[in-house]
Amino acid sequence: MGQKKRSLDATDLNILAKLQKNARASFTEIGLVVGLSAPAVRDRIRQMESHGVISGYRVIVNQTLLGNPIRAILAVQVKREYGKWRVPDNAVTDMFRSMPEVLRYWSVTGDVDFIIEVAMPSMKRMEEFHRRLNTLGIFTTYIILEDSNDSAEPSGAFGRGSTPRAPG
């Protein structure tokens, strides 16, 4: 049997909005915003976790502090021969997984096959990365100038308090 569908009310949506801004917010902080007690907020969050609405708490890493100030999104179209990919799909994703510069990737529909997010220490490294990617096909690079996740308020993988939260 499938998971039971859980409908979200306005309070749940407000709780989710607060968690998206700051996954470390305490139940009390969230309760003040949404008008509930800390135990009521905890219960709603646990229900949303058990129903799969909340599947984990993501760490947002400041790549600049790690020595990778240049971030980009690349749209990749894999070369084709006779209507088939020249490189098998799994070989492409294996390649992305093996590249430390690749933070995330998505297989997508449309006029490109993949979207990848990368972080680099320098433009020279970006040029080297482009040379490696040339073997796959054609791509367009979009340098990230501003990121909505770069905020003053901390967010991250830890839930309220100092207890790490495991993805659901």
- The one-digit pLDDT tens for each residue of the chain (168 residues) are 445 666 899 999 999 989 988 888 999 999 999 999 999 999 999 999 999 899 888 777 888 888 999 999 999 999 877 666 666 668 889 999 999 999 999 999 999 999 999 999 999 999 999 999 988 889 999 999 988 776 544 444 334 333 333 333
What local confidence, expressed as pLDDT, does residue 1 receive? 40
Fold of 70-143: Alpha-Beta Plaits (3.30.70)
Domain with CATH 3.30.70.920 in the chain: 70-143
Q: How far is CA 166 from CA 6, 16, 20, in A?
A: 21, 17, 16
In the 8-state DSSP scheme, what is residue 110?
S
Conformational region of residue 48, where left means phi above 0, alpha means psi within -120 to 50, and beta covers everything else: alpha
Residue 86, pLDDT score:
67
Torsion over CA: 138, 144, 145, 148 (sign): positive
The set of residues, in sequence order, having a beta carbon less than 8 Å from that of 129 and lying 6+ positions away, is: 99, 101, 118, 120
What is the bridge-based pairing of β-strands 80-81 and 102-107?
A: unpaired
CATH 1.10.10.10 in the chain is located at: 10-50
pLDDT for position 57: 81
The domain made up of 10-50 has a fold known as Arc Repressor Mutant, subunit A (1.10.10)
